[in-house]
A and B are shown apart, each in its own frame.
Chain A
Amino acid sequence: MENQPYNQAIVRSFVNWSIVWGLVAVLVGVIVSLQMVEPDLNFPPYFTFGRLRPVHTNAGIYGWGVGMIFATFLYMVQRLCKVPLWSDKLAKFQLWFFNATIIASAVTLLLGYTTSKEYHEMEWPIDVMVVILWVVFSINIIMTILKRKDEQMYISLWYMLAAIIAVAILYIVNAAAVPVSLFKSYSAYAGTNDANVQWWFGHNAVAMVLTAPFLAMFYYFLPKSTGVPIYSHRMSIIAFWSLIFMYLWTGAHHLLWTPVPDWIQTLAMGFSIMLIAPSWGSVFNGYLSMNGQWHQMRENYLVKFLILGITFYGLQTLQGPMQAIRSFSAFIHYTDWVPAHIHMGTMGWVSMIAFASIYYLVPRIYGRELYSIPLANLHFWLILVGQLIWSISLWIAGVLQAGMWNAMNPDGSLTYTFMETMVEMYPYWWARSFGGMIYMTGLIVFIYNLWMTAKKGGSIAAQTTVETTTVEGRA
């Protein structure tokens, strides 16, 4: 592939670093899960649950998630536009600045410099770094798109553009704060307003970081892996506009029953339910693309990851709207049910798609065939089983806990004290740690496989076969 002008090296570096941060996220995830069952595992001042949990979430979303967004966007934009990257230098700067930002975030969070706003914990100097990083990235992507060869833009590019713009707006608005010192600032908004702004940001971080970019990847890597185009491009367009329009109304479903005005909560509830349509639009588009190709689930390990990934997405987007209904929220909000939802999204949907993307990229960025397909299959089963244990045990825990919190005696008094409900969680929290360890084992198998590929995978004589398969027309 030397004869191609595409910048592969930068993609490889981003993939490698994302995997490093992914491993950190999962490792810290296992540690915090153990701290919840054994408080003696807290080592103050730096390694207590309260400080480590944000390290876990931010390493997961920003290190692993956004790292993979950078890797795949930089790859997809060149291929979809059929032109090399606008600026290789900028991309190189982006890589090192990205790592610097992640390291600075981890260190400052451990030192206790935090705003406490979920997924926006980092203090203002790091916000400045994030903004620089994002601007550099956006310019490179947008400029590359502007000089593209194919006139018509494929749906992945649409999602990429929308995500880039939306993240910029969300992040900056929620970052508004008055600094007191280098590492302390006070939010520009107070109380109920602050809550509303934060969850407008928070939910749309889910939409524009953990959903739209991964849909872009899904829409790209699925047809590329199967060799068959997606079922309907026009359907993906309708889903696109509906999705990006509706998501922004739903932030307050994190604030049901709080002092936030009722009408905002009601809008959030309504739009959350409507979101099922565009979300499942993508799910159906994925499934229907597999028409006549289901045998590939057996033969092509890539397809397995992608289809399982979109299935988890489908489950997420049914579970989520359910949680956004007032009565259901009254029951499960604040319980362990919610982490079960979150991790089906992050460990299932987001990570499955990221793993598939990496497997697809391996021959292209390492110039070698994957070291071992059986190991890739083992990886698949370990993370699938690990994630299911994680989410199923906490769904049960959440329902149990909610039931006990709400239980009342015939005379109208409460049946259980808080501690009576909390001790019931311990077995499920143990199960979660166990599931997490299985998942981590899967991740280590994956890393070993890539390591061996880089060291001694078979070199590629011919282009991978999937790509030269004839394209069946279906409109």
Chain B
Amino acid sequence: MDLASIVYLGVTFGMFVIFALIVIRTYSRKRKDEGEIAKYQMLDDD
């Protein structure tokens, strides 16, 4: 494998990891209420 392929794979893998982290963080049980609160607040009478 040449350098270009290693960089290519590394970047691709890195992006997937970042994506996975965002998903895990967003969907963690701990943050369930926090993550959904905005959708109720926006319905407040204005």
A residues sitting closer than 8 Å to B (CB atoms) are 79-80, 82, 150, 152-156, 220, 223-224, 227, 229-230, 232-234, 237-238, 241-242, 463, 467-468, 471, 473, 475
Residue count of chain B within 8 Å CB distance of chain A: 20
30 inter-chain pairs at a CB distance below 8 angstroms, sorted by A residue, are A79-B46, A80-B42, A82-B46, A150-B38, A152-B37, A152-B38, A152-B41, A153-B38, A154-B41, A154-B42, A155-B38, A156-B42, A220-B42, A223-B39, A223-B42, A223-B43, A224-B43, A229-B40, A230-B39, A233-B38, A234-B26, A234-B35, A237-B26, A237-B35, A238-B22, A238-B26, A463-B45, A471-B40, A471-B43, A475-B36
Task: Tell me how many residue pairs across A and B have CB atoms closer than 8 Å.
Answer: 60
The answer to whether B36 and A232 touch across the interface, beta carbons within 8 angstroms, is yes
How far, in whole Å, are A352 and B28 apart by their CA atoms in the complex? 36
**A229-B39 contact in complex given A82-B46, A234-B27, A467-B45, C-beta closer than 8 Å:** yes
CB neighbours (8 Å) of B7 from chain A are none
How far, in whole Å, are A463 and B45 apart by their CA atoms in the complex? 10
Question: Which B residues between 1 and 46 are near A, CB-CB below 8 angstroms?
Answer: 19, 22-23, 26-27, 32-46
**A473-B40 contact in complex given A238-B23, A241-B22, C-beta closer than 8 Å:** yes
CB neighbours (8 Å) of B35 from chain A are 233-234, 237
CB neighbours (8 Å) of A468 from chain B are 45
The answer to whether A233 and B23 touch across the interface, beta carbons within 8 angstroms, is no
CB distance from A404 to the nearest CB of B (A): 41
How far, in whole Å, are A463 and B36 apart by their CA atoms in the complex? 26
CB neighbours (8 Å) of B43 from chain A are 223-224, 227, 229, 471
How far, in whole Å, are A152 and B22 apart by their CA atoms in the complex? 17
How far, in whole Å, are A79 and B44 apart by their CA atoms in the complex? 9
How far, in whole Å, are A82 and B23 apart by their CA atoms in the complex? 29
CB neighbours (8 Å) of A229 from chain B are 39-40, 42-43
How far, in whole Å, are A234 and B37 apart by their CA atoms in the complex? 10
